[in-house]
Amino acid sequence: MSTRKRRPQTLEYVEDYLEDLPYLLESEQKPEIEVKIEEEKEESLRIKVISTTQDGKRSESVSEAPRLFLKEVPLLPPLIVKRPPELIRCLLPLGSKISSPIGVQPLPRTWYLLQMPIKVFDREVRRILPMSLPLVTPIFYSWFGSPIKPISLPGQQTILAFTLKDLLRLIEILPRLPKVAERIESNIRIPPLILHKFFLQNEQEASLSESTEALRTKAQIERVRGKGLLELLFPEEAEKFKRLRGAAGAYAGEPILILLPEHKYHLWYLFWVICRELYREAKGSYPEPATLLDEGCDLWLKHQGALAGKIVVLRKELVEDENEERKKWFRRRLQEAFSQGLGFLIILAKEVNETVPLLEELCKPYAPLIIAIQRIPKYGQVLTTLAKTLSEGFGIPYSEIIRVNGLEARDKIAVLVEGGLKELPQLDVMVAMIDRTYREFQNELLLSNYIAYVRRDISERESEDHIAMKTLAIKYISEKFGLKPEGVTCTCEVGKEVIADLYVQEKALAVECETEFGTTPAPLLKIFESVRKYMDRPLTNPVNEVWVIVRNWSAILHLGDLIWAEGILKEELKKKDVKVKFFTPDIHGKSLKLLSDIAKSVFT
Amino acid sequence: MSTISPDELISDVQPWSTESWRDFVEGHVAPIKLLAENVAKQFVGDSSSVVSKFLADSATRVIEAAKRFLGEVAARFEVPADPIECLRLLVERCGNVFLGVGEGGKYTLLVWTLRKVTKEYLFEALYPTLKDEEKRRKTFEILGIREDLPLFVPAVRSALTDNLTILGYPDYSSICRVEEWGHYITLSILPAKESTFGGALCKFLDGLVAVLARPGILSGVVPSADVIKTYLDKCPSRPPELPYGWSELDWKTSYITFTELSKWKSDYAYHISGFAVRCLDILEAPDKWTPTFVKQETNLLSLLRWLMPSLITGRTEMLLSADGRVVLLLERKI
């Protein structure tokens, strides 16, 4: 007997039912009734019957049953068992074409027998009367002498029997009985297993509809506005960098004090280069650099010391209390800064928080612009973000930027990246390499054959950057559109007081190269002006598209603002059906790269 | 577009290899989970958020189920900060893991074809490779198919019983409770205790379809091809030998309508009694039947053989009562 019991609880899950299925099948065959012999008596047995109901309840009943005994039964004479008649195998008709002629015999034609010649006798016996015979000729008597001659009666015509109308109909609808076939065959008609091949589809791409693209651009512009390289590297200090870029661009009338945590990995070098670029944008010339990290501090403070037009790197330890003379000179130089032009003083301090009040105290009564950077992310994160941004912004492969082959041990560092240790170049090595590559690319352009098609700007202050960018643009346009370089006009007047850096007649394309060179205050205004002139002023040549090319350092420092400016200008010029695109040089591809593409990969 | 035989498909996917599944889960499912979570969060209130939430939840269940045989699962994907880019990437990634699309689509196609399949069709026609004891054991163990817990066993003692036994994932809509019967029948889909990897992936696929239908702001993303329509068009259609009793299953909304505890009502039902199958207009006890109730009479072998090609590809769907006596047939549409 099965020992398995059906569970009393309600079935709620698939598995409950599936587990129960085989049990249900089993129990149909073997009801769960258990029989036990409780007591064996001489004449009877005490039997206990235990049964389990479907809901799991057990019931028991006890009864007595007489013991089984043997009874002698007289033997019966042997039975003659006849073999039963064999089953006749039924042969069934085959379905397709069965001919079934009528099995009824045709109606027999009825024939009536002709009667034999009838002999007519008079049954009445009469007295033979004398017959008086007339006198007849001998011939007459000879007639009598002849035997009795038969009498010929007229024969009936053949009788035709006709069936009654109703009877005839009955015959017509007689069932046609099938003819039993001699052999029946049967074929299996079960559907076969059918297998189809599966279809594979190519990978698909998804793009945005026009309205969503516009929405995305707007959202992206708002999201990235004010963000650049520094904000990407030190996101927690983003607000302070906005002040740094703003101060360098908008007013540019005083030195800026930058406080950095002293870092063993030369973090200051990046700031040095950035300050150089900001100064260049503001003033249109290179600042004078000075590093006062070790010796020579006293001499510099005493004899040079003015911060305007310089980028000075100073270690805080050198101007602390121990050396009163040096401290006095340092105080004096800071106080003098109230009436100087743009300059940068980068102070490296172990405790940035404590240094801010010290500087404020030294400057009094002058209140300086101090930008104190306190929270630096993990060095590995700074390095990878920097490498990625520089790679995108300059168009140099990422693998090239993080390559450590050939570097000395002090120029590389193992950092934790994505859970694993990875060797990367030091930050100053990375920045220096990019700077070097950019300058070499610039030189390459200035020495290329395309320089022959470049005309100088009407401004006397045209920088080498500006010329190099014009050269690159001519190269790119002629290659992209399959034009001869002569087809690209350099410094072309396309309208009243509207001069394009480059103009392509065939494409109605105007190109503006923006080096952001000496464009303060608000360098971004220069770009707005460069593009809006095609909308505001009357044109003598058609312009359907305006390209703005921004140099790489400026592009990555002001990336968010440039994307924002591009969005606004696009909307404005759309009204006149003029397209606007912002580019930056792609050093590796020796071509131009869309700023929006850089923003896409840098900010996502 | 190209074709692939089921045997080539299984050789490509190697469902018995855990490493093969790791590549699929980490490279396809995990990024979709992150993207869907992001979209669900960014666009709360929009209908795109609802479908994304479902997709993210089902992807989580897939990953949880995968952890049982893969251990830790890593997500090798960084979600873009731009929410619109997230939308675009979500649609693109969903399309590229849909049935038969690209490399990821091979995995989903294989899992999908094992939802509900007779042993006969599985081993004789579809994947004879799985006759190999070791490969079958590993594959079934990973996907969650249990031979000792089939979805349906014919209630006859016959040589055909084993052949017509239906295997599949208990947690993908299949076994139901009969709620009402008579002039119409109502089945409610029973929930499963545990989530299997295969079942979770099938629900994940329903989520993919819901996203690819692009409700709400997702309509602003334009995929280069309509992969769902193309797939359904190429699938074997419902068998013409079974003309009665088809209900329509809208794939776009099946993530809420074809799930546990949802109810399915039909005017017709297929009644299985031993080996006999009858399509009935009115479902009553057999002793109350009159010939007018019976719309069609057939047998279990024919029914399942007719049904299999369209059932495994998902063009049709089958719901079974818990006692295996009532079947409801559905046709998937978009």
Q: Which residue of A has its CA nearest to B233?
A: A199
Report how many Cβ contacts below 8 Å link chain A to chain B.
170
Residue B94 forms part of a structural domain: yes
- Report residue B229 as tokens: 């329509």
Number of domains in chain B: 1
How far are the Cα atoms of A208, A209, A216, B78 from residue A213, in angstroms, in the given order?
6, 6, 5, 22
Q: Which residue of A has its CA nearest to B300?
A: A190
Query: Which residue has better confidence, A271 or A102?
Result: A271
User: How far is A52 from A31, CA to CA, in rounded Å?
Assistant: 9
Domain that holds residue B158: 6-333
Number of domains in chain A: 3
Query: What residues of chain A have any CB closer than 8 angstroms to a CB in chain B?
Result: 11-15, 17-19, 21-22, 24-25, 190-209, 211-212, 215-216, 219-220, 223, 600, 603-604
Interface test with B, best of A14, A26, A194, A205 (most B CBs within 10 A): A14
Q: Which residues of chain B have pLDDT under 50?
A: none
**CATH code of A286's domain:** 3.40.50.300
Residues A131-136, mean pLDDT to the nearest whole number:
61
**Which stretches within B145-246 are classed as H helix?**
160-163, 197-212, 227-234
Interface test with A, best of B34, B85, B93, B194 (most A CBs within 10 A): B85
Residue A99 forms part of a structural domain: no
Say whether both A599 and A461 belong to one domain.
yes
Return the half-sphere exposure (C-beta side, CA atoms, 13 A cut-off) of residue B75: 14
The 3 state secondary structure assigned to A454-517 is: CCCCCCCCCCHHHHHHHHHHHHHHHHHHCCCHHHEEEEEEEECCEEEEEEEHHHCEEEEEECCC
Residue A347 forms part of a structural domain: yes
Can you name the residues that pair with B279 across neighbouring β-strands?
B270, B296
pLDDT given for residue B143 in this prediction: 96
Report helix angle B30-42 to B47-70, nearest 10. 150
Residue A139 forms part of a structural domain: no
- Cβ–Cβ of A197/B5 closer than 8 Å? yes
Q: Characterise B240 by phi-psi region: left (phi > 0), alpha (psi -120 to 50), beta (else).
A: alpha
Residue B251 forms part of a structural domain: yes
A92 pLDDT more than 70:
no
Secondary structure letter of residue A449 according to DSSP? G
Residue A255 forms part of a structural domain: yes
Which amino acid would we find at residue B68?
Answer: R
pLDDT given for residue A359 in this prediction: 87
Which amino acid would we find at residue B238?
Answer: R
Supply φ then ψ for residue B168, to 5 degrees: 170, -165
Residue B260 forms part of a structural domain: yes
- Cβ–Cβ of A207/B175 closer than 8 Å? no
- Cβ–Cβ of B84/A208 closer than 8 Å? yes
Say whether both A459 and A590 belong to one domain.
yes
How far is CA A214 from its chain centroid? 22
Q: Is the preceding peptide bond at A521 cis, omega within 30 degrees of 0?
A: yes
Say whether both A349 and A454 belong to one domain.
no
Which amino acid would we find at residue A328?
Answer: K
Identify whether the C-beta of residue B116 lies closer than 8 Å to the C-beta of residue B311: yes
Say whether both A488 and A372 belong to one domain.
no
A407 pLDDT more than 90:
no
What is the residue-averaged pLDDT of chain A? 78
Return the half-sphere exposure (C-beta side, CA atoms, 13 A cut-off) of residue B306: 17
Q: Which residue of B has its CA nearest to A418?
A: B76
Confidence band for A588, pLDDT divided at 50, 70 and 90 = very high
User: Of B151, B306, B309, which is closest to A196 when you measure between CB atoms?
Assistant: B309
Residue B35 forms part of a structural domain: yes
User: How far is A55 from B7, CA to CA, in rounded Å?
Assistant: 48
pLDDT given for residue A85 in this prediction: 44
Residue B92 forms part of a structural domain: yes
Residue A364 forms part of a structural domain: yes
* Terminal Cα distance for chain B, rounded: 20
A68 pLDDT more than 70:
no
> Which chain A residues contact residue B102 at CB under 8 A?
201-203
Residue A469 forms part of a structural domain: yes
Domain that holds residue A284: 235-376
pTM, whole model, 2 decimals?
Answer: 0.61
Pairing of strands B185-189, B175-180: antiparallel
pLDDT given for residue A182 in this prediction: 73
> Which chain B residues contact residue A200 at CB under 8 A?
1-4, 100-101, 105-106
What b-and-e string marks burial along A157-177, b requiring 16 or more CB atoms within 10 Å of the CB?
eeeeeeeeeeeeeeeeeeeee
- Report residue A218 as tokens: 């707007």
Interface test with A, best of B10, B48, B96 (most A CBs within 10 A): B96
User: How far is A543 from A495, CA to CA, in rounded Å?
Assistant: 10
pLDDT given for residue A291 in this prediction: 72
pLDDT given for residue A66 in this prediction: 62
Say whether both A592 and A506 belong to one domain.
yes
pLDDT given for residue A93 in this prediction: 46
- Cβ–Cβ of B81/A195 closer than 8 Å? no
- Cβ–Cβ of B105/A11 closer than 8 Å? no
- Cβ–Cβ of B100/A201 closer than 8 Å? yes
Q: Which residue of A has its CA nearest to B102?
A: A203
Residue A381 forms part of a structural domain: no
Distance from CA of A200 to the nearest CA of B (A): 5
Can you name the residues that pair with A413 across neighbouring β-strands?
A424
Query: Which of B146, B149, B202, B197 has the alpha carbon at shortest distance from B173?
Result: B202
* Terminal Cα distance for chain A, rounded: 70
Provide the percentage of residues in chain A whose pLDDT is more than 90.
23
Residue A61 forms part of a structural domain: yes
> Which chain A residues contact residue B92 at CB under 8 A?
204-206
Q: Which residue of A has its CA nearest to B90?
A: A206
Q: Is A106 exposed, middle or buried (0-12, 13-18, 19+ CB in 10 A)?
A: exposed
> Which chain B residues contact residue A202 at CB under 8 A?
1, 101-102, 225
User: Of A24, A204, A600, which is closest to B225 when you measure between CB atoms?
Assistant: A204
Identify whether the C-beta of residue A236 lies closer than 8 Å to the C-beta of residue A375: yes
pLDDT given for residue A111 in this prediction: 59
Residue B1 forms part of a structural domain: no
Query: DSSP letters along A373-435, please?
Result: ------HHHHHHHHHHHHHHHHT--HHHHT--TT--GGGEEEEEETTEEEEEE-HHHHHHHHH
Say whether both A480 and A593 belong to one domain.
yes
pLDDT given for residue A81 in this prediction: 43
A74 pLDDT more than 90:
no
User: Of A191, A201, A219, which is closest to B84 when you measure between CB atoms?
Assistant: A219
A368 pLDDT more than 70:
yes
Confidence band for A335, pLDDT divided at 50, 70 and 90 = confident
In the sheet that A44-52 helps form, which strands lie side by side, from edge to edge? A33-40, A44-52, A58-66
What b-and-e string marks burial along B251-267, b requiring 16 or more CB atoms within 10 Å of the CB?
bbebbebbebeeebebe
- pLDDT tens string A212-243: 888 877 877 888 888 899 999 988 888 888 87
Q: Which residue has the tokens 């030189």?
A: A443
SS3 (DSSP) at A599: helix
Residue B284 forms part of a structural domain: yes
User: How far is B51 from A331, CA to CA, in rounded Å?
Assistant: 65
- pLDDT tens string B165-198: 999 999 999 999 999 999 999 999 999 999 999 9
